[in-house]
Amino acid sequence: DDNSSRVSLTETLEAAQRNDVTIYAISTNSTAYFGSKEQERGDKTLKKFSEETGGKAFFPLKLQDLAGSFLDIHDELRSQYQIGYRPSNARMDGTFRRIRIDLADKRFKPRARTGYYMPKAGATSQK
């Protein structure tokens, strides 16, 4: 349980989204099925942060499975594609804009961030 952070989980996720960070997380919770509420909350947070930033969370059940999680991340990073678009709402208002990606071939499922923050007019970049 985190009891000493100066930044909330919401603020941390927002900072990752504002700075185009993709999070890949590996849980070290060895009691995935019978863990405490704190461990369960931590795993849910890893999953949320990963999904919201376009990454993925891994939950190896045994130490021997850990290497497989790193290999999966390696493979994911080697086969990423980047797309871009110009938003129809060009207001520089600092708001969070949700995005959705639909593929014609439903056999594939894209993994992408859930949205982005449009910069505010006159604001300096946080990068």
Where along the chain do its domains lie? 9-86
Q: pLDDT band at residue 32, thresholds of 50, 70 and 90? A: low
**For 91-101, what is each residue's pLDDT tens digit?**
999 999 999 99
**pLDDT at residue number 27:** 93
Global pTM value: 0.78
Residue 32 and residue 59 in contact, taking contact as beta carbons nearer than 8 Å: yes
Per-position DSSP letters for 58-94, written without gaps between them: E--SSGGGHHHHHHHHHHHHHT--------S----B-
